[in-house]
Structures are given as structure tokens and as C-alpha cells.
Chain A
Amino acid sequence: MTYIAKPKFQHPGLPKNELGYTHRDYEGKVSTLCAGCGHDSITASIIEACYELSIEPHRVAKISGIGCSSKTPDYFLGNSHGFNSVHGRMPSVLTGANLANRDLIYLGVSGDGDSASIGFGQFAHSIRRAVNMTYIVENNGVYGLTKGQFSATADRGSKSKKGVMNTDNAIDLVAIALQLGASFVARSFSGDKSQLVPLIAAAVRHKGAAFIDVISPCIAFNNHAGSTKSFDYVREHNDAVNRLDVLTGRDPITVEYAPGTVQVVEQHDGTRLALRKIDADYDANDRLAAMTFLQKHAAKGQVVTGLLYVDPDAEDLHTHLETVETPLNTLEAKDLCPGSAALEKINASLR
């Protein structure tokens, strides 16, 4: 970690977004993670995505569990709401918050330990309930805080820093999320911000459960030869199926795409996702095909990245529960209590 605060000075020519903020206005405290941690790049990508979307920081709630990854909400969006919950319990805290106030943007930040081990059940249920959120797993395959034991996402056959082989099968959170019905599923790499930033922006604009698995090398314990979560390994085995441009309402499509190579997906709020296909056969609207594709490539040792699945017409938990448009936390007693006459009526109907 760094002991001095990041200087307040900023580049005099820094561009500003629609709100008049520079990307530096979306920063939090200085990171206390190890130097070079992939999580810091994810932090920077979240900052960049929120800056590009001109999000008002006070409209965001960032919620996390325990672990290196779950410390990171302290390092971005210093003017947003935050909740650092119990280990693995981020999804239920987030679900509760979302039910109480549907108007905020929910960022769930978790790690492979937090989501694939102690919080695996929580992860699963928040996805299958279609909570409107962006669920980011900062996935480094090890328990960094306890000196690098394999986590549940470590690939079978990968080696620890000390040279021990992992004999357990890995949980692929992306495959699980697809199976559980997540309506936006992506995988990316902390070392490729040009891919990651638009994915986060698209996920934030998605209505429904958006899940992003970000491979994030642990410099201290999982960046050696034999690791499948190292910078070198991911760069060599990265199989990106598409690249994404996020076009918010006002922007015209100015980028020239070769015909047939781009698919424009329009989300609920009007955001258009321009998907430049890299793998011509890949269809990001086909859940079943995505699951098969993922399994096939994983078997070949490839790390499939990109926007893997999106359902632009997805619904969320509030739609399923038919809650009112007004956030529940703003409802007054008179809205909630119909009065004794109504109670009498109900009681009478039950007699």
C-alpha cells in the first residue's frame, strides 16, 4: 500500500462529463491493496464507467462482503452510499436495499471466496431472483488475505506459488450465472480496460441481474508460471468473442462497422450496445449456445471473455413482485395503512 494520499492536483486538460465532473471526481480513498493488484484496475474501470455514464455518485449504492475484493468499494465513488457486509452476505444485503429503494444503482462487489465459497448460496439466489444490480466478482483464484490458498474458482491442475497442484474442480461462476437465469453475463480481465469499462457501463444500464466475472491476477500469490489466473496466462489464452461499445441515448452511431460484423442491442433504458463480433459464430442472445460455447472452450484451456449473454427485455425482481414504482422507503404511513374501515372489510370477508 501507499502511505501518502493521492495528490489532489489533476491534469488541467482533463475532459469533463455531462455533470461537469472529471473521472477523478469518482475516486475514493487511496488503495491499501498490494502494489499491482488486479483489483485496482477494476476499481479504475468502475470509476471510468461511472464517469462516462455521467452517473451522480449519490445515486449509487456499493455493497460488498469480505476479502481483498470487498475492500475495493472504499477506493471508488467516495461520495456514494456503501455497505461492507458480513462475509458472503453481500447479495442478501443488496437484495434488501434494492427492495427498500429501487431508485438507486446497485453495485455488488465481491470476490471468488466471497461468492463461490461462503456466499455461494447467496450469489445463486440473488441471481435467480433477478435483482436489478451489477454483480462484479473480482476473481483471482486464491485467498489473498490469508496468503494464497486455492479458492473455489482455481482451475483443476493449476499450481500454487509453492508448486502444489490444485486437485479440486473449479466453479465457473459465469456458467452458473447463465444457468440461474442472469440476464446479462460477461467475463473480462483486469488487464484489458478497453474491454472491461464498456462491459461495466452496459451492466449498470441493464435492468435485471447483470453479472461480470473479472479475472484479476493476484500479484502476491497467483501470478506465477503454472497459475491460470496470471497476467501471462490470461493474455495468452484470452478468447474474446466480441468487443463492446456502449452508446447512450444521445450519441449517434458514428463508428463505421464493416457490414455483418456488428450487432446493436437496445436495452430497456434506450442504451444501445454495439457488439463487434470477433467470433463470427457467437450469438450473445442465445443462452444455451453460450453455455455450450463456454464449456467447449474451457475444456481447451481458453478463457472466454466479452459480453457472453444479454437479454435486453429482461425483467427484474420488482416487476415479478409487482411492487409500486415509488421506492418503498419513501412510502408514508398513510400510503401503507388503508385505515380501520378497510381492515373491517377484510376481516368481514374472512369470517
Chain B
Amino acid sequence: MKPTDISAPDYFHKVVDCQWACPAHTPVPEYIRLIAEGRYSDAYMINWKSNVFPGILGRTCDRPCEPACRRGRVEENPVAICRLKRVAADFKDDVKHRMPRPSAKNGKRIALVGGGPASLAVARDLAPLGYHCTVFDSDPKAGGMMRSQIPKFRLPDTVIDEETGYILDLGVEFKGGHRVDSLKKLLNEKYDAIFVGSGAPRGRELDIPGRKEAAANIHIGIEWLASVSFGHVEKIGRRVIVLGGGNTAMDCCRTARRLGGEDVKVIVRSGFEEMKASPWEKEDALHEDIPILNYMVPVAFKHVSGKLIGVTFQKVKAEYDAKGRRNLVPSGEPDQTIPCDDVLVAVGQENAFPWIERDCGIEFDKWNMPQVDPNTFVSTNPKVFFGGDAAFGPKNIIWAVAHGHDAALSIHKMLSGEDINERPLPEVNVFSQKMGIHEWSYDNDISGDKRFKVPHRDKVIALKDIKAEVELGYDVKLALGEAQRCLNCDVQTIFSAPACIECDACVDICPMDCITFTENGEEDNLRQRLKAPAPRHDQALYVAEGLKTGRVMVKDEDVCLHCGLCAERCPTGAWDMQKYLIDMTHAGSTCQSKARSAA
């Protein structure tokens, strides 16, 4: 294998699995260390810079970081990264004075359609640079789906108010209760750029017999959740069936439990394991006595004189074809009708752009989605950008934020007269953590604790009050314990072959058998000859040459604990522990363009 080029920004970034998996590349270990130090405000600001909504995401994020977390490969459970983010938000001091100041306007005007996470992220990045940002939303308050679709018992309004407030306070103009119904009209208003962050606002229909006749008791999930959120709906029947297996279905069933639903069931087509809902959301639903029935396909709504009485299901089973694709085929069991008073349909969301005229320069594809560049987020109209669910269909908040950062960078580059396709590399800082002979500026003593549970409000009380937040969040002590579980994967093992005397001290001390000194070879061959099995090809081998014996040092990054014992036991300092910080390029970062810095 070729020696590893550790100066490539991506190499060590991938070693920080959580940060690499986060669409916004939040420097997770860095803020977790700050939490352990009790520096909550600093931890919050690191988050705020990367993901804009730490308090909101700390409660609702889809957490792509956690399945990626190295701790999950070393023991049963990853670090509770998401809930630690909430800790930073819960315990921080007043951070208003740390927010960017509204700066002198540069005369450029940006229109942002939709007041959800994508648009707000764009406004957050652009407003401090002097852009005049105007956000349009049909709802009276900012937040978009975060406010309308996520139940208050998961995300209280106060948190949304605070975090959308930080952005609006940057001098962003918010036009609430103002639905944009014509892009053409907006284009005519001579904005310098338009960002569309209007989400995926339409709930998918379930067109089976009885749908029309029993319409009064059949509700589309996200619309119903919005009505609940704005206080238009305050109760539901005693027996409720929720159709669908995503996170919206989980929100629907738990909301129904709080509005009078005593017998609430979730019924899904697929198997329980393949449901789209996050495992922890399923757990929360089950905890609230909501059974989840699987392999049942709804075939008809049963009704008597316009009144819904139940739903009929066909029983299916999963069969896998030669290519491993799953097909749901009838199991042969008789259909089953389950009686109910109300049905909530949560079988997916769709985009809808009835307000975009098809002749304003924006090309749509065959699925009626705008053609959007996945790197720059520009549409076929060079002044119109898309992001969040509006760009590539329903995802989640953290993706919307990531899109927002990239779109903001594009808009800033375009309006600075630069090529938006040239994406500047992130800034990377790598510096030694050595303080003394066996002293590091991070805590390298690995905690053996298992994942700490987040305390929940008593179920009886929680189910009585739809606004009572269920999760209470970690207290300071639990937060410290959980923070100590982080393996500090951003503190990298850096090897210098010329200093190495091949004494094997690092090989002997490494608790995970990561390090091997051996003859070089092709990667597949090399992986066979390491001290411990290295089957995960997505985890890099760090190869260094230049040793006196002509061998190479190979380190499998996979399960390294970053405990620094290799460096502590190294007599010549050939190993060092160096903290790797990557600063993702946002709009307004210095050195934005090579062309410009040369000029």
C-alpha cells in the first residue's frame, strides 16, 4: 500500500466518525470535552456555528453521528451525542453577546421562501455578511416544520423561539403569515438571489376504498400534527390507528395518546425492524403503551353511514428474491378488520411546487422535482437556489442545515463575482496535545461506563399534558458521565517513521491491537496479516514507511480508543497525539477563493 497522506483534510476527518457522518460536520468530540469541563456556553457556540439549532437538534436530530460512533464498535452503545448537545443548550449562560452583530448592509437583497431550518441556516450565514435577508412563511412564527410538525412534548416552543430568535436578531426580516404563491412575482421584485426552503409540505394520500366516505375521521398525519400544534385540534377518538412506520407516525401515535386516544395502535406494512422510524422513537412509542403491528397492508376503510368503524388489513410476509430485494406477498391468512374511531395516515411526505411557474427558468425532472446541483444547490435559474426537503425530498433537520450552509456559500460567491463551482477546502488545524511526559491536554483515561439513560417524565403525568416535555435531559452529573464515554477520536495518533526504533512498545501496549509492523503488501493482503482482524474496509489503514528494517507501520483506525498509550510508551516520540480540528468552509470564511487571494 502507498503510505497514507495524513495531510489530506479528509483522512483524519473520516477517523472522527461522528463528525464525518454529521451532514454539517459538527466537531463532536471537541464540544463533548467542553461539556465535561463544564464550559456549556463554549460547547453551545461550537454547535451553533456548525448546526445552527443545538437546542432543537439536541432533542430531535436523526443522529447520523450515533450509528457511526466508534464507541458503538467497541461496546454495545454509542455515546449519546445528541443528548449531550441538548446539555450544552440547557446549561449554557446567556449567549446573546456571543452572537454575530448585525453588520452594515451591503445593499444585496436575498429572499428566502419558507421559514424552516434550511432558510434560517442560509439567513444565519448571510445576514452577518451584510446581506438583507427576507424570510417568507405562511405561519405566523419562524421555524417551519420544527414548529408545526414536531410535537411540543418533544420540542417545546421556548426552544424554537430562542434559536430562531438568534437568527432573526441578526437583522433578518421575517414576513410571517405571508405565503409565497408565485415565484415569478418574487423574481420580479428584483432580489439578488432567492433561496427556496419550503420543505416537503404535502402528506402522501392513501387511496383505498372508503377513503372518501369516511373522510371525517381519516386525517393526514403531518397536517393533523400541524393542526394540533396550532391548537386547532384538541381531541381524537378513543381508538386510533396510525398507518405508517416513520418518525411522523411515531409523533402521531404519541400525540393521539395525549388527546384522548386510549387504544392507539401503529400498523405497518413492513416488518418491525425495517420501519423507517428511528429505534429510539419506536422505543418511546412502545413505552407509552402503543403496540406496533407489522406485516399488515391496509386495503379498505370500513364505514357505516359515513362514519368510520375500522380498517381492513391484508396479512403479508416478506420474501427475498435472488438479488436480496424484499417483496411483500400475501401470507394466505384471512384479512383482519381492526375497529377504530380515527385513522392517522403517515405514509410519507411529498414535495409540491404549485407556486413555481414552469416558465421562470427552473427545469423540473420527471418526478416533478426541480433540477438542483447537489454541490452548489443552484437550480437551472442561476439566481434561484434550493435546500432542505425542497431540494431532494424529505430528509431531516440536520441535512437542511447542511444544505443551507452550502447554498449560502454559493449565494455569497455568486454575489462576490466568483465561480460557485469552486468549493474552497476546509481549514484544518492539527496540534500536539502533549503537556508532559505522560500528560496530555485531554483526558485519555478511558471510561468503562455504559451509556447513561436520559431521565423521562413520569408516564402518567406526561400523557396528561401534551406540552409537558417527556425527556428531561441529563443533569450535570449524568452529562459528565456520558461525556467521559467519548473516545476523543479527534485526538489523532500521528506516527513519525524516522524517529521510530521499532522497539514494539506501542504494539505491546495497544489495548485494541491496532498496530502492526510488517512487510508492506496490497491492502487485501495486508489486512490478513495484521495483529487483529481488520475486516472493515470503510475504516482506513494508516500506513507509514521509512523504517530502518524496511517494514511498514500499519495502524487499523477501526477500533482505536485514542487513549494515547502508544504515545506514552514510545521512547522516542515517534507517536504523538495531535488534535485535529476542521473548520468547514461557510460563507464569509477567509481565503474564500484561490483566485481572489492571488489577486
Contact = CB atoms under 8 A, between A and B. Distances in A.
Contacts of B415: none
B504 A44 contact: yes
Nearest to B556: A11
A34 interface: yes
Interface in B539-571: 548-549, 559, 561, 563, 565, 568-571
Contact of A2 (B446, B504, B549, B565): B565
A6 interface: yes
A232 B445 contact: no
A43 interface: yes
A223 interface: yes
A37 interface: yes
B563 A4 contact: yes
Interface residues of A, number: 36
Nearest to B568: A2
Contact of B448 (A3, A8, A37, A231): A8
Contacts of A34: 571
Interface string A283-316: 0000000000000000000000000000000000
A4 B444 contact: yes
A35 B511 contact: no
B451 to A, nearest CB: 14
B511 A10 contact: yes
Contact of B446 (A7, A11, A35): A7
A3 B549 CA distance: 31
B501 A35 contact: no
A5 B563 CA distance: 10
A259 interface: no
A219 B574 CA distance: 14
Contacts of A6: 509, 511, 565
A190 B502 CA distance: 11
A166 interface: no
B512 interface: yes
A13 B532 contact: yes
Contacts of B446: 4, 7, 9
Interface residues of B, number: 34
A14 interface: yes
Given A13-B535, A36-B569, A191 B503 contact: yes
Contact of B569 (A10, A15, A35): A35
Contacts, number: 100
A190 B504 CA distance: 9
Contacts of A37: 503, 505
Contacts of A36: 501, 503, 505, 569-572
B503 A38 contact: yes
A248 interface: no
A40 B507 CA distance: 10
B444 A13 contact: no
Nearest to A75: B508
Contacts of B548: 232, 235
Contact of A12 (B74, B508, B569): B74
Interface string B491-534: 00000000001111101110111100000000000000000110
B559 A40 contact: no
A9 B504 CA distance: 20
B465 interface: no
A324 interface: no
A12 B505 contact: no
B594 interface: no
A159 B404 CA distance: 67
A7 B501 contact: no
A24 B508 CA distance: 11
6 contacts: A2-B509, A10-B511, A11-B512, A41-B503, A191-B502, A193-B504
Interface of B: 73-75, 438, 444-446, 448, 501-505, 507-509, 511-514, 532-533, 535, 548-549, 559, 561, 563, 565, 568-572
Interchain residue pairs A-B with the least CB separation, the first 7: A36-B571, A13-B533, A7-B446, A44-B508, A11-B532, A36-B503, A4-B445
